[in-house]
A = this chain, B = another copy of it.
Amino acid sequence: MGLVVQKYGGSSVADAEGIKRVAKRIVDAKKSGHQVVVVVSAMGDTTDELIDLAEQVSPIPAGREFDMLLTAGERISMALLAMAIKNLGHEALSFTGSQAGVITDSVHNKARIIDVTPGRIRDALDANAIAIVAGFQGVSQESKDITTLGRGGSDTTAVALAAALDAEVCEIYTDVDGVFTADPRVVKKARKIDEIPYEDMLELAASGSKVLHLRCVEYARRYNIPIHVRSSFSGHVGTWVRNKAEGEEQAMEQAIISGVAHDTSEAKITVVGVPDKPGEAATIFRTIADAEINIDMVVQNVSAAATGLTDISFTLPKTDGHKAMEALTKAKGQIGFDSLRYDDQIGKVSLVGAGMRTNPGVTAAFFEALSNSGVNIELISTSEIRISVVTRADDVKAAVQAVHSAFGLDSETDEAVVYGGTGR
């Protein structure tokens, strides 16, 4: 048997009991003959508590120090987890991101992994120990300062280690039984997906599904690491994220639609009265990019012939809304628009499935379902395997349910179980 990387989120190790429960699971994997590397997040609310402290001492905490602060969280959980495993009679050694060889760039609070050199992890495994690694953190190649990877960081750590160690599988333990055809909190009849290809999982993650973070799935696809998303609270088989090997039957098993995702974390900005000439959109989005804001959907209205003016709308994280409005206002003279409109009462609903490429009826059925449930559409954006619409935030739940039913995704029973919060 080979090497397994397991990742446990904050809700799985929220207290001493949780840590002991997780320790047993890890020891079981070891007993079954695997080499085991464990990536762990900070306990429960630790990170929020640390952020709260930081805000008390400084309104805008500095990047380097903020990372130093936050990494204390995993330090605590990993040490406790190693102790709990040793208490069960198995050797365990904990490693910080830096000790585990997680090398990053120097962008504090959202560093990117540029190399993984897990020499000490290999040594620990060779010595028959279980290696416990702090998720979410690394060390910058340039300054040797401690960095954190930002949202979804621990999942990314796990997949990166799995790739560097040539692991058989990366198991992501969470508080739900796997990836569902829709958020089980919204759709009671959502079904657990048994297997999903990387590209569908990417689209779901990008469209608001919170089970796996986009960066982690991207990393797994690049290095072809199978991910098994499963619950740390039950023994059930979860969702496998992987591509079929060459020669395996694809068409027969490939569902047309993988699932429905939704996202209410975005806002919409409309730049009103932009001169309809080349370079205008570029200036707007350069302004946004310079403020280090990622935008999501973009729509430009057809220009009104009489005025030669057009409107450009785009969506972005609500948390960046203020910064974006400020940047655009500053650049008003340069861009030359009439006004700005800000709307944070929107939601996004997305239908994802690699099978829709070859099924022309999907788009039509999607819009019919929304129309039948009385949901008004404000923006539309599509990829080859996804359709997304922006609606009023109030309409999101109805839209998700309608689409889920229309594509035959409803299960016979209410099977989804959610156990707690989600880790980072």
A binding-site residues for B, Cβ under 8 Å: 16, 19-20, 23, 50, 53-54, 56-62, 64-66, 68-69, 71-73, 75-76, 78-84, 86-87, 92-94, 99, 144
Chain B residues with Cβ under 8 A from A79's Cβ?
54, 65-66, 68-69, 72
Chain B residues with Cβ under 8 A from A23's Cβ?
57
Assembled-state Cα–Cα distance A76/B42 (Å): 13
Chain B residues with Cβ under 8 A from A69's Cβ?
75-76, 79-80, 83
| 8 further A-B pairs in the complex, CB-CB below 8 A; given A58-B87, A68-B78, A72-B79 | A16-B56, A53-B80, A54-B83, A59-B87, A62-B82, A62-B86, A65-B80, A66-B79
Contact B80 A57 (CB under 8 A): yes
Contact A57 B19 (CB under 8 A): yes
Contact A76 B65 (CB under 8 A): no
Q: Would A57 and B87 be within 8 Å (CB), given that A75-B68, A79-B69, A82-B62 are in contact?
A: yes
Contact B65 A94 (CB under 8 A): yes
Chain B residues with Cβ under 8 A from A75's Cβ?
68-69, 71-72, 75
Which residue of chain B is the closest to A87 with respect to CB atoms? B58
Which residue of chain B is the closest to A64 with respect to CB atoms? B93
Chain B residues with Cβ under 8 A from A72's Cβ?
72-73, 75-76, 79
Chain B residues with Cβ under 8 A from A50's Cβ?
76
The smallest beta-carbon distance between A392 and chain B, in angstroms, is 40
Assembled-state Cα–Cα distance A20/B57 (Å): 6
The smallest beta-carbon distance between A14 and chain B, in angstroms, is 12
Contact A65 B53 (CB under 8 A): no
Interface pairs (13), CB distance under 8 Å = A16-B53, A16-B56, A19-B57, A50-B76, A57-B83, A57-B84, A62-B82, A66-B79, A68-B78, A69-B79, A69-B83, A71-B75, A72-B73
Assembled-state Cα–Cα distance A57/B84 (Å): 5
Assembled-state Cα–Cα distance A94/B73 (Å): 17
The smallest beta-carbon distance between A101 and chain B, in angstroms, is 12
Contact B59 A82 (CB under 8 A): no
**Residue among A75, A84, A99 having the largest count of chain B Cβ atoms under 10 Å:** A75
Chain B residues with Cβ under 8 A from A83's Cβ?
54, 57-58, 61-62, 65-66, 69
Cβ-neighbour of A65 out of B20, B60, B68, B86 (below 8 A) = B86
Which residue of chain B is the closest to A98 with respect to CB atoms? B98
The smallest beta-carbon distance between A218 and chain B, in angstroms, is 30
Assembled-state Cα–Cα distance A43/B65 (Å): 16
Which residue of chain B is the closest to A88 with respect to CB atoms? B58
Assembled-state Cα–Cα distance A61/B16 (Å): 13
Chain B residues with Cβ under 8 A from A65's Cβ?
79-80, 82-83, 86, 92-94
Chain B residues with Cβ under 8 A from A80's Cβ?
53-54, 57, 65, 69
Assembled-state Cα–Cα distance A87/B58 (Å): 6
Which residue of chain B is the closest to A69 with respect to CB atoms? B79
**Residue among A59, A61, A66, A78 having the largest count of chain B Cβ atoms under 10 Å:** A61
Chain B residues with Cβ under 8 A from A78's Cβ?
68
The smallest beta-carbon distance between A44 and chain B, in angstroms, is 12
The smallest beta-carbon distance between A58 and chain B, in angstroms, is 4
Which residue of chain B is the closest to A19 with respect to CB atoms? B57
